[in-house]
Amino acid sequence: MSRPNVHVTQPIHEDGLALLRAAADVSVGFGPEAVTLDAVLPHVEGLLLRYGGVSREVVESAPKLRVISRAGAGYESIPVDAARARGIPVLVPRSVNSRSVAEHVFALLLAVYRAIPYWDAMARSGRTDLFEFRESSLAHELSGKRLGLVGMGAIGTEVARIGRDGFLMDVFTCHPRRSPDEIRAMGITPLTGLHELLAQCDIVTVHVPLTDETRGMLGRDEFRAMRPDGVLINVARGGVVDEAALAEALEAGELAGAGIDVWADKVPRADNPLLAQGAKVVASPHRAGRTEEAQRRAGVLAAHGLLEALGGVETTGVDDVTLR
CATH of 5-96+292-323, one of 3.40.50.720, 3.90.1200.10, 3.40.50.10110, 3.40.50.2300: 3.40.50.720
Pick left, alpha or beta for residue 187 (phi over 0 → left; psi -120 to 50 → alpha; otherwise beta): left
Distance of CA 173 to the CA centre of its chain: 18
Q: How confident is the model at residue 237 (pLDDT cuts 50, 70, 90)?
A: very high
Mean of pLDDT values over 113-132:
86
Cβ–Cβ contacts within 10 Å for residue 294, how many?
Answer: 23
pLDDT at site 313: 56
Amino acid at 214: T
Ramachandran angles phi, psi of 256, nearest 5°: -90, -30
Domain ranges of the chain: 5-96+292-323, 98-283
Mean pLDDT across the chain: 91
pLDDT at site 108: 98
Mean of pLDDT values over 177-181:
89
Which strands sit side by side in the sheet containing 25-28, from one edge to the other?
Answer: 25-28, 5-8, 46-49, 67-70, 90-93, 321-323
The model's pTM is 0.83
- Dump the DSSP string for 21-90: HHHSEEEESSSTTB--HHHHTTT--EEEESSS---HHHHHH-TT--EEEESSS--TTS-HHHHHHTT--E
pLDDT at site 320: 42
Q: Where are the alpha helices (DSSP H) in 114-258?
A: 116-123, 130-133, 154-161, 167, 180-185, 194-200, 220-225, 243-251
| Domain at 98-283, CATH class | alpha beta
Domains 5-96+292-323 and 98-283 share a fold: yes
